[in-house]
Structure 1
Amino acid sequence: MIRFENVGLRYGMGPEVLRDVSFVIDRGSFQFLTGPSGAGKTSLMRLLFLALKPTRGLMSLFDHDVATLSRTDLPTLRRRLGVVFQDFRLLDHLSTYENVALPLRVMGKEETSYRTDVVELLHWVGLGHRVHVHPPVLSGGEKQRAAIARAVITQPELLLADEPTGNVDPTLARRLLRLFMELHRLGTTVVIATHDIGLMDQYDARRFVLNEGRVHIYD
C-alpha cells in the first residue's frame, strides 16, 4: 500500500527534516509511529496524507507514484484515506453529527443510509449527548473524539491518526484504540503517530521510530 525509497523532505532551503527514509507498509497492517519531539513524525504523516510531496526519493501510495500525481488526482486518492489531525479540523458551522457525516455526504450517500451508523458511532466514542452541538462548545477531548469518528465512519482503506489519544484519559484511550483495532480487523491499514509508550506496549504492532529524520523499524 505504501512504499518509501530513500525519501528526503526539506522545507524551502532549510535542512532536510527527513533523510533517506525507506520502508514498506503492507495492506491490512497495523503500526505505530513514534519518536521524540522534532524527530519528523508530523512531516512524515503529512507526506502520507498527501499534504506534501517528497523533495527526493520515491514515494508510492496505492501503487501511484506521488511525485507524478496531478492536482486532479489527489481528491480521488484522499477519499480512500481517513485522517485524524492534531488540530481536529472540525467545521464550526456544522454540528457534531454533521461533521462526522461529512465524508459520507461528500461521497454522495443519502442520509437515510448512514444516519443510524453515525449516531451509533457517536454514542460509542462517548458523544451521544453532543450530537447536535457545534465544535466551539466541545472540549478538546470531545473534539478529538469527533475527529476520530469522522475519520473512521467511511471504513477507509488507510487510517492515519496523529496523536489520536492525546486529549483523552487512559480508559478512553484504550477504547479508541480498540476502535482502530476493529477497523484493522476489517481490513483497514492503520498508522498511528503517538508519544504514549505505555499505550503502544499494550499492543503487538510494528513500530516505526523516527530519530533525527531517520526511521528505524521494530517488528
Structure 2
Amino acid sequence: MIHFENVGLRYGMGPEILKDLTFDIPKKSFQFLTGPSGAGKTTLLRLLFMSLKPTRGLISVFGREMSTIPRTELPMLRRRVGIVFQDFRLLDHLTTYENVALPLRVRGKEESTYRSDVLELLKWVGLGDRINVLPPVLSGGEKQRVAIARALIDQPELLLADEPTGNVDPPMAKRILKLFMELNRFGTAVVIATHDLTLMDQVQARRMILTSGRLDLYE
C-alpha cells in the first residue's frame, strides 16, 4: 500500500528531520509508531497522508510514485486515508453529528444511507448524547472522540492516528483501540502514533520506533 525508499525530509536549509527511511505499510496491516517527543512522528504521518513531499527519496502510495501525482489528484487519493490529527481540526460551526458525517457528505452520499452508521459510531465512542453539540462546547477528550469517529466513518483503506488516546481515560482508550482493531479486521491498514506503552502492549503488532529521525522496525 505504502512504500518508502531512502526518504529524507528537511524544512528549508535546516537539518534533516527524517533520514533514510525505508519501509512498507502492507495492506490490512497494524502497526504502532513510537519514539521520543520531537523525533518526527507527526512529520512522518504527514508524509503518509501526502500533505508533505519528501526532500529526497521515493514514496509510492497506492501503487503510484508520489512525485508524479498531479496536485489536482491528491485530494481524491487522500479520501482513501482516514486521519486523526492531534489538534482535531473540527469545524466549529458544525455539530458533532455533522462533523462526523462530513466525509460522506463531501462524497455526495445521501444522508438516508449513512445516518444510522454515524449515530451508531457516535454511541460507540460515548457521544450518543452529544450529537447536536458544537465543538466549542465539547471537552478535549470529547473533541478527540469526534475526530476519531470522523476518521473511521468511511472505512478508509489506511487509518493514521496521531496520539488518538492522549485525552481520554484508560477504559475509553481501550474501547477506541478495540474499534481500530475491528476496522483492521475488516481490511483497513492502521498506523497509530503513540507514547502509551500500555496501549501498545494490548496488541500483537509491529512497532516502528523513530529516534532522531531514523526508523527501526520490530515485528
Sort the TM-score into its range (normalised by shorter chain).
Answer: over 0.9
- State the partner residue of 2:178: 178
The answer to whether the aligner puts 1:165 opposite 2:165 as a matched pair is yes
Query: Following the alignment from structure 1 to structure 2, what is the Cα–Cα distance between the partners of residues 125 and 22?
Result: 35
- State the partner residue of 2:2: 2
Superposed CA RMSD in Å reads 0.5
Q: Which amino acid aligns with 1:55?
A: T
Query: Following the alignment from structure 1 to structure 2, what is the Cα–Cα distance between the partners of residues 213 and 196?
Result: 20
The answer to whether the aligner puts 1:18 opposite 2:18 as a matched pair is yes
1:73 CA displacement: 1.0
Q: Which amino acid aligns with 1:21?
A: L
1:182 CA displacement: 0.3
Gaps of 5+ in 2: none
Query: Following the alignment from structure 2 to structure 1, what is the Cα–Cα distance between the partners of residues 95 and 110?
Result: 18
Identical columns (%): 73
- State the partner residue of 1:192: 192
- State the partner residue of 1:121: 121
Q: Which amino acid aligns with 2:218?
A: Y
Gaps of 5+ in 1: none
3-state SS, counterpart of residue 129 of structure 1 = coil
Query: Following the alignment from structure 2 to structure 1, what is the Cα–Cα distance between the partners of residues 50 and 141?
Result: 26
Q: Which amino acid aligns with 1:29?
A: S
Query: Following the alignment from structure 1 to structure 2, what is the Cα–Cα distance between the partners of residues 198 and 116?
Result: 33
1:27 CA displacement: 0.3
Give the TM-score normalised by structure 2: 0.99
1:149 CA displacement: 0.2
- State the partner residue of 1:67: 67
- State the partner residue of 2:145: 145
Number of corresponding residues: 219
- State the partner residue of 1:215: 215
3-state SS, counterpart of residue 129 of structure 2 = helix
Deviations 1:120-152 (A, max 9, x none): 110110001100010000000000000000000
- State the partner residue of 1:45: 45
1:96 CA displacement: 0.3
1:25 CA displacement: 1.2
3-state SS, counterpart of residue 132 of structure 1 = coil
1:49 CA displacement: 0.7
- State the partner residue of 2:104: 104
Q: Which amino acid aligns with 2:50?
A: L
